[in-house]
Amino acid sequence: MDIRDFLDEIRMPRGGDYAPMAWKLGSAAAFVVVVIAGLATSIYTVPTDSEGVVKRFGQYSRTTEPGIHLKAPFWIESATAVPVRKIQKEEFGFRTLKAGVDSRYLRVEDIEARRTSNSDLLRLVAESGERISGSSRLLGDAAKEILRGEFIMLTGDLNIIDIEWIVQYKIKDARSYLFNVREPGQTIRDASQAVMRLLIGNGSVDEAITIGRIENEISARDMLQKLLDEYETGIHVVVVKLQSSNPPVKVRPAFNEVNKALQQKAQKINEAMKQYNEVIPKTGGEAEKMVEMAKGYAAERVNMALGDVAKFNKIYEEYKVAPDITKQRMYLETMSKVLPLIPEKWIIEQGGADGGILLKLDLDSQK
């Protein structure tokens, strides 16, 4: 009997007996429902930012790309979309309530100032796995304890600091992400807190707050990635970013004053070093200049003395040969040097009764 015969029997019951007809109609309706349900459960769609993981009787079967696909209907196969191309984020010590230009965050200070709603607090408590029922005060206390448990840390030099950070990650292996870890989000949170507390506990408070922040971010990312790979979670850590690292709120003003004093001390030292670097090289250069000038002057005087000695010896040799001529030449050379220095020159006749001033020589006249 084919489908056409089956439909003919439904339309024209034999012998006027309608009981078999009702049974056949019910069977046809059930058949149609089963066909529709089978088609509906055998078609699934994978979003563009995901991969589809198909499980057959709960075990891994295959991985499919984005788009429309077919699978075995009903409970035989099931498909789960895993967002492998989406960057996801976990926050520690705070929560982002609204991202954007007018961002809003959930912190301990906001809870104490009553700037948060009960729904935000309830969501935070629910995400942590705790069950709190009662007044908003109890809910707020529970939320504060959850956040404090995340951001309060002890450094290697026995100081307490508040650390807030985020972890951004992607899913690199959809199969490992679904089958190797029961709760991937909580696993990332536990692993990240373990890594961050290890780094902060092995360093000083200054390294955690100022000089070692970048190194801690890099080390935390590498250590967290190594830990997640050991557990074969199929997760790739994109970045670990420290949002803030400060002393506790109650001691923060005193800590800031100490930092301010240290900065002023460093500033004074830098100013003194600047003056030192300006004065000492300048003084050293001036001293070296004076020493070189003295050496030059000494060399000049020695050379002049040696020249005078050589000149005197030459004149003495000539004097021994012709004393009169030499004396006359020396006299004339000396007068040629002395006379130009005398402002007024007079010619005076020496000897005799008529001796006296004869003439004033006006050598400076232009006439």
What is the reported pLDDT for 328? 84
Mean of the per-residue pLDDT values for the chain? 83
Please check whether residues 43 and 121 belong to one and the same domain.
no
- pLDDT winner (highest mean) among 28-42, 165-179, 352-366: 165-179
Mark whether 100 and 243 lie in a shared domain.
Answer: yes
Shared domain for 269 and 298, answered yes or no, is yes
Give mean pLDDT, residues 192-217: 91
Residue 19 has pLDDT above 90, yes or no: no
Mean pLDDT within 101-108: 84
296-309 pLDDT per residue, tens: 999 999 999 888 88
* Domain-embedded: residue 10: yes
272 vs 267: CA distance, rounded Å: 9
Candidates 164, 144, 39, 159; CA nearest to 94 is: 164
Number of domains the chain contains: 3
Same domain, 147 and 243: yes
Mean pLDDT of 25-44: 77
**pLDDT tens readout for residues 251-300:** 888 888 888 898 899 999 999 999 888 888 888 888 899 999 999 999 99
The model carries a pTM of: 0.65
pLDDT at 206 over 90: no
Could you tell me if residue 44 is inside a domain?
yes
Instruction: For residues 265 and 169, state if they share a domain.
Output: no
Q: Are residues 119 and 235 in the same domain?
A: yes
Residues 241 and 292 in one domain: no
Predicted confidence band of residue 36 (pLDDT cuts 50, 70, 90) = confident
Note down the domain range covering 10.
Answer: 3-82
85 neighbors 157 (Cβ within 8 angstroms) = no
Say yes or no: 243 and 124 in one domain.
yes
The per-residue pLDDT for range 238-247, each reduced to its tens digit, is: 999 999 888 8
pLDDT at position 178, please?
92
Which residues, in sequence order, are bridge partners of residue 245?
Answer: 163
**Residue 360: burial class (beta carbons within 10 Å; 0-12, 13-18, 19+):** exposed
